Structure 1
Amino acid sequence: MEMTTPFLRPAVWEDALQVIDLISSADENALLYLTGKNSLDEAKEVYRQGFSREDVYYSYRFTLVCFVNGRLAGCILAFPGFLEPDFISEAGSSLPDVREAEDDELYIDSLAVYPEFRGQKISRYLIDAVKVQAKKYQLSKLSLLADDAKPYLEKMYRSYGFEVVEEIILDGVRHKKMNYLIKS
C-alpha cells in the first residue's frame, strides 16, 4: 500500500466507533477486564459510551487518531497520571487497585495500528505526538505497560527509547512497566 504522509489530529467523540473497534482489535482482553463485562460487544459499548465523556480515561480528549489516505490507520490513548485516582473513583470497582500511572507521567493506555499500516512507523509517529502532549502537561515521562505474553511489544518500545522500570501483575497477567524520560 502506497502511503501518503500520516495526518494526525485529536479525536472527537464521533470517532468512537472506529477508535474502540481498533483498540479492541489490539487487546480485547483489556476491554473485558477494565469493564468487567463477559462479552466483547458489551465491553465495546461501554467504551463507546464513555468515549464521549470527559471524566473517564478512555475519553476522546485523551486520544489522538492517525489517518493515512483518508483511512484510520492508528490511534493512541494517553492520559496524565495525576488524573488516574479520579478515574478509579469514578469507575468504582471496575478498575484495578494497582495504579498504572504515576502523577508525573503521561500514561499510554492504548496504542493500536491496523495490520495493513504496520511497519510504516505509524506507532512511532503517534508516540512522538504524545511526547509533545506530555510537555504541554509539564510531565517528565511517558509510561506504559507491556504484556509479558507479547514480548515483541517490549522490543518495539525499547527501540523507541523506553526502559523497563518494574513488573506489575494485573488480573493475573504479568506486565513490564516501561518509561521514557522526556528531554526538556
Structure 2
Amino acid sequence: MSISIRQAQPQDAHAVVPLIIDAIGDIANRLTGEQTPEAVEQALIVLFKREDNRHSYLNTFVAVEHEQVLGILVYYNGEQAIDMDVNLVKWLEAKNAPSIVIDKEAHEDEYYIDTVCVAPEARGKGIGTLLLQFAEEQTKKYNFKKLSLNVETQKEDARRLYERMGFVITEPWSIIDEPFHHMVKQI
C-alpha cells in the first residue's frame, strides 16, 4: 500500500464531500442551511471550492493511493476559525438560510482536527492513523504546541484511539448542544 497525503484541490470536491458528510452527519445540514441530502452535498461542494471557510480545500488534506482519495483530514488553527466562521454565517445569511450560530470548536492557541474520515472500502488499513500523524507533523512545522479535536462522549472506541495516540481529555465541550470531550495532544 503506497498512501500519500497531499493538499486537497478544488477538483477533489466530489471525492471529499461525501466523506465530510459521513463524518459530521446532521451537522452538515446546519452548516449548509439545507435539508435534502442532494442539496447538502451540493452546498458543501460550493464551500469546499471556496477559500474562506472551515471546509475549504485549503484546510483539507487527502490520503490518496493511485490518485484515489481514501481519507480526508480537515485541519486548521483555532484563531483562523473565528474569521472562517464569520464568513460561513455571512454566506448562510446571503442565501437566506435559517439563522445559525457556529459553535467554537477550538482554542486560539491550538491547531484543530475538525474532521477525519476514511472511505468505507479503505477502513482498517491505518489511514486514519496516518492522517492524525500528518496533523501532528504539520502542527510542529507551524510551531504550535497543541493539537486538538473533539469527540462525542458516546464514541468510546474513538476516544480510546485518540488516547493511545497521546491525546488527553482537557474539558467538556458542547457542539450544537451535544456533549463532546475536548482532547489535546501536547506537541
1:146, 1:154 within 8 Å by CA — same for their partners in 2?
A: yes
- What does residue 81 of structure 1 align with? 78
Contact 1:76 1:112 in 2 (8 A): yes
What is the TM-score of this pair, normalised by structure 1? 0.89
Correspondence list, 1:31-180, <5 A: 31-92=28-89, 93-96=99-102, 98-180=103-185
Unaligned runs of 5+ in 1: none
CA shift, 1:95, in A, is 4.2
Cα distance per residue 1:28-48 (max 9 Å; x no partner): 222123223222322222211
Per-residue Cα deviation, 1:60-104 (whole angstroms, up to 9, x for no partner): 1111101134422101000111111101211225342x3111111
Match of 2:23 among 21, 26, 34: 26
* Contact 1:144/1:178 (8 A) holds in 2: yes
Q: 2: CA distance between counterparts of 1:151 and 1:39? A: 30
Instruction: Tell me the number of residue pairs that the alignment of Structure 1 and Structure 2 aligns.
Output: 178
- TM-score of the pair, normalised by structure 2: 0.88
Identity of aligned residues (%): 29
Give runs of ≥4 in structure 1 deviating > 3 Å.
none
- The unaligned stretches of length 5 or more in structure 2 are 90-98
Letter paired with 1:133: Q
SS of 1:94's equivalent in the other structure is coil
Q: CA RMSD in A?
A: 1.6
